[in-house]
Chains A and B, each alone.
Chain A
């Protein structure tokens, strides 16, 4: 059992939890993820590691309530426990693995969409701790959904916030800000984009044009997260890869995003049904139109 030592509602439907998981905290690196199960009946949910404290033996996760599983998870309180918490899984971010001198010589731009700000944060923080100031674009649908702005500000070189509806910071999609920055004369050697699949796709289309090498962190459906099932398979550079062991980070210009987005839909009806059943409880009698 893994104790929740801190819980915070960052904004509507986005939660941060700091969880005691000594083994994970001892060995994890930025870019890796964990799989959690809230109780003995729960499904396995993959979440990127957003922060870690090796001394305290804790891991910070951030999640948005998008389905039945995360909705139930959001009801867990400080002092309660996750039944299972396994990791670190996947490969660490390439930045961490490369020689520091090489990383230092690069101008790096991070692009975070929505809850993707959470997994971007530990990487920017890691760079900051190693004396590297990376630029960061954080995109959010609206002001109320923006998370980790202060934290990001304290570790980023330049921070650019943009909202789709213009309610805060710049206005428009993250791609607009990338274009603007490049037009203003900024040069980047590497872009790291994390967020919804559709956002990563459009960032990649743009950076390919701008000839900026781009790394994305994919979030396909997963079950075990250790390479034994292939639920998370994606096509990268024409080859089939398992995101849980070969990734989750890949060369964004090589990823087949259309296929990856299609594959995210596999259980959509089943998930919707489970969500309705959860919301309507005993009163759930086929409102989803899919019950027999």
Chain B
């Protein structure tokens, strides 16, 4: 074995998987995991832990994997993370734990994500569950939103003995894990539902179909329903559109709608009662992970798919692994291209998209080179479907119905990043509702910090 090279992970063949919704990455088996674990040099001052937003004791759990003690490895991870089977799959490890791994300076970093995933999958298959709190402390906390931030915060508080209820607006818990990230990256019934069961097994109650701000307000939860503290993890689910002519034509969707239909409502399954547009030629506008997810979904529904992005490949905000997978499956990348109008027929159905070529100019305030239009380079792409994946912002519903809860100019809730404290006493917040759209693991980190903040607040009370 070459210690500089990581043990490759088995994947479904690209041609095969482009036609189904089964998970792309098949994961390690125990032998492969133990072999990969043996590459870890067990640093004393482990940098990988610093790269992990929830600070999993990475060398310790990997040591257990190396020795074949998977159950022990699972308990070490569970001390820090409530959703290891999810994080092992969807974290951008290259810029977090694995990005800091010493092995990565000369050779491949340790496949920390794939090892975490193996441990969590093994524990699930062998019926190992996290350990609930020995004693309840009689204090009630409400968690708004059952996405990664809410689930983490709820799990941590339950472990400390709090009586936690999560309120979720949709009919199913999980947030972006169930409506956003597709089945082929994150299996729903096999992985997400089981991980949520684990959080419930800690004693967390989940009440679905409650839209906080409509069904009940935060003030009512605290004044009438006896909650001593509230955590807001309502995410950033409001889609952006470009505002170009023709955007309301039939066949133009937000990535949120397209993915919610496919993932939450199972519209990819021909037996589903929720319909989805089966386009023949689809353009996905945007270059983030959500754009890759929408594109790969459309491909699996039988379309020729183009990613239309105004900057170059180097600036694509999506994970390198996702871009790589998309390319392998046959997604076409139209880079340095920006839509200026959606064209439609006399019945209002999309027929194409007028675009203009871009070139990169001087760096802008974000440090990325600003795309500028190339005069006279307009052209028309013939299409029947356009999916807008331009990012999302927080829904103002909660902030606008809660007195004393301040937001910034982007409608993000203002909260202390160390403990989640907002401008309203007893109310904490974290995840995309505070930062705007970010990653699963950052939301989990925020949920964790807020759980600690809430515990300190209620303990002192």
Distance of A43 Cα from B210 Cα, bound (Å): 18
The complex places the Cα of A197 from the Cα of B316 at a distance, in Å, of 42
Query: Which residues in chain A, 40-73, are within 8 Å of chain B measured between CB atoms?
Result: 41-44, 68-69, 72
In the complex, chain A residues whose CB is within 8 Å of the CB of B254: 229-231
Q: Which residue of A lies closest to B347 (CB)?
A: A262
Digitize B394-405: 1 where CB-to-A-CB distance is under 8 Å, 0 elsewhere.
Answer: 010100000000
- Whether the pair B275, A228 counts as a contact (CB closer than 8 A) is no
Q: How many residues of A contact B (CB 8 A)?
A: 41
Within 251-272 of A, Cβ neighbours of B (below 8 Å) are at 259, 262-263, 265-267, 270-271
Interface string of B267-284 (1 = CB under 8 A from A): 000001111110000000
A13 to chain B, nearest CB (A): 19
Residues of A within 8 A of B211 (CB): 86-87, 89, 226
Instruction: State the main secondary structure of chain A at its contact with B.
Output: mixed
Given contacts A87-B214, A228-B237, A228-B256, contact A263 B250 (CB under 8 A): yes
Please indicate the chain B residues that have their CB under 8 angstroms from the CB of A84 in the complex.
171, 208-209
If A86-B211, A267-B275 touch, whether A227 touches B397 (CB-CB below 8 Å) is: yes
Task: Please tell me if A127 contacts chain B, counting CB pairs below 8 Å.
Answer: no
Contact among A86, A227, A235 with B395 in the assembled complex (CB-CB below 8 Å): A227
Say if the beta carbon of B260 comes within 8 Å of chain A: yes
**Docked complex: A265-286 residues within 8 A CB-CB of B:** 265-267, 270-271, 274
Inter-chain CA distance A237–B395, complex, in Å, is 23
Interchain nearest-CB distance for B60 vs A (Å): 39
Given A68, A87, A231, A240, which contacts B247 in the complex, CB threshold below 8 Å?
A240
Docked-complex contact B171 and A229, CB < 8 angstroms:
no
Are A43 and B273 in touch, CB under 8 angstroms?
yes
A192 to B351, CA, bound (A): 37
Contact across chains for B248 and A235 when beta carbons are under 8 A apart: yes
Q: How far is the CA of A122 from the CA of B347 in the complex (A)?
A: 36
- Is there contact, CB below 8 Å, between A27 and B257? no
Q: Are A274 and B395 interface neighbours, CB within 8 A?
A: no
Q: Mark B353-397, 1 if CB is under 8 A from A, else 0.
A: 000000000000000000000000000000000000000100101
Asked whether B261 lies within 8 Å of A86 as measured between CB atoms, the reply is: no
Instruction: From A43, A86, A230, A259, give the contact of B169 (CB < 8 A).
Output: A86
A226 CA to B144 CA, complexed, in Å: 14
In Å, the complex CA distance between A72 and B241 comes to 35
Residue of A nearest to B258 (CB): A229
CB neighbors of B among A132-174 (8 A) = none
Bound together, the chains give a CA A85 to CA B256 distance in angstroms of 21
- Could you tell me the distance between the alpha carbons of A263 and B249 in the complex, rounded to whole angstroms? 7
A194 at the interface (CB under 8 A from B): no
Residue A205 interfacial (CB < 8 Å): no
25 inter-chain pairs at a CB distance below 8 angstroms, sorted by A residue, are: A24-B215, A26-B216, A27-B215, A27-B216, A43-B272, A44-B274, A84-B208, A84-B209, A85-B209, A86-B209, A86-B210, A87-B211, A88-B215, A226-B211, A227-B237, A229-B260, A230-B239, A230-B253, A230-B256, A231-B254, A235-B248, A259-B248, A263-B250, A267-B275, A274-B273
Known: A23-B210, A223-B274, A224-B169. 11 other contacts (CB 8 A): A69-B273, A87-B211, A87-B215, A89-B211, A228-B237, A228-B238, A228-B256, A229-B260, A263-B248, A266-B250, A267-B275
Shortest Cβ-Cβ A-B pairs, 7 listed: A270-B275, A229-B257, A228-B237, A86-B209, A262-B348, A84-B171, A267-B275
Interface residues of B (CB under 8 A from A): 169-171, 208-211, 214-216, 237-239, 241, 243, 247-248, 250-251, 253-254, 256-257, 260-261, 265-266, 272-277, 347-348, 392, 395, 397
